[in-house]
Amino acid sequence: MPSDNFDDFVENLQKEIIEKEKEEYNEYIVELFHNPKNWGKPSENDITVSQTYTGSCGDTMNFFLKIENDIITNAKFITDGCGASVATASQTTMLIEGKTVKYAENLSPEEVDKALRGLPDNHKHCAELSVRTLRKAIKKYKHQKH
């Protein structure tokens, strides 16, 4: 098979996969899991607290928060989870950056789901995983402060 044909095949296959993902999720979620915001572990100097949590689905999520005067100035994450886990963690970090610790502590899975314009029912647990990981990070932060 000539190289051009193979490249065309791969490109067409990728487009087909993305179209199927958009049918299952929505365009916004698909964009976030292909191009997540706030992905990655920051330098140690940029971490006030980090927290890892593994959900009942087996996905593991880790949040890295930089907190100054009880304001979350930077939020990053990594996960080994599915595309919906990537999208929910990314959305969660976007919702909490620049907000108070109290705001983040009260963020609900439903608010994350709404910001994502609706996860499929079989992936709503990903928003729960994201919020649970965030709350564990905040609890750890509060414990470290005292």
Supply the pLDDT for residue 107. 98
Domain coverage including residue 106: 3-145
Residue 81 · residue 56 · CB < 8 Å:
no
Which residue ranges of the chain lie beneath pLDDT 50? 1
53 token code pair:
């949590």
pLDDT at 18: 82
Rounded CA-CA distance 1/11 in Å is 15
- pTM of the predicted model as reported, rounded to 2 decimal places: 0.89
6 contact partners, CB below 8 Å, separation of at least 6: none
Query: Cβ–Cβ contacts within 10 Å for residue 79, how many?
Result: 24
Give pLDDT, residue 2. Answer: 55
pLDDT per position as a tens digit, 86-120: 999 999 999 999 999 999 999 999 999 999 999 99
Question: By the 8 A CB rule, do 140 and 105 touch?
Answer: no
CATH code, 105: 3.90.1010.10
Count of structural domains, the chain: 1
pLDDT given at position 3? 60
What interhelical angle do 27-34 and 3-24 show, nearest 10?
Answer: 130
